[in-house]
Amino acid sequence: MLFLKSTALMKAPGIYEVDIAAKPPGKTYGVYLATDPDNPPQAVLAALGELGFKGSYQKSYTHRDGGRVLDLHFEKDGTDLFKGWKTEECSANLAALDSLFGNIGVSVTKRVMSMAEAYA
């Protein structure tokens, strides 16, 4: 689940927060979205599917500020060991995600999770 500070502002229509993160060692990234369940970002969700990302988790909850949130996680298999991404796949997938989110005005910063966060 993303750490969402507030549901008062959206980064884009239907999107409260976007996180592009990888478990260590950091070559295979997942997409983590906090969305408005009443106004989901259908075009973004469809585009993620077209890029090969598949939903791996979803949970609805009420944020402490009273707003409703749908937490969504997406993963994409690669061709490396344990379905990880090879270096060239990583570069291509991250460029595609930058383009997708950049086209809706959301800048994303990729990050590698801490061990505690990744395996909690």
In a domain, 78, yes or no: yes
CA distances from 51 to 45, 61, 93, 103 (A): 10, 27, 8, 15
DSSP 50: H
Write the CATH number for 64.
3.30.70
Q: For the purposes of burial, counting CB atoms within 10 Å of the CB of 96, is it exposed (0-12), middle (13-18) or buried (19 or more)?
A: middle
Number of domains in the chain: 1
Quick: pLDDT tens for 70-111: 999 999 999 999 999 999 999 999 999 999 999 999 999 999
User: What is the model's pTM?
Assistant: 0.93
In a domain, 120, yes or no: no
Quick: pLDDT tens for 5-56: 899 999 999 999 999 999 888 899 999 999 999 999 999 999 999 999 999 9
The answer to whether residues 72 and 15 touch, using CB atoms and an 8 Å cutoff, is no
Domain that holds residue 100: 15-106
- Give the contacts of 26 (CB within 8 A, at least 6 positions apart): 112
Whether 1 shows a pLDDT value over 60: the answer reads: no
In a domain, 94, yes or no: yes
In a domain, 113, yes or no: no
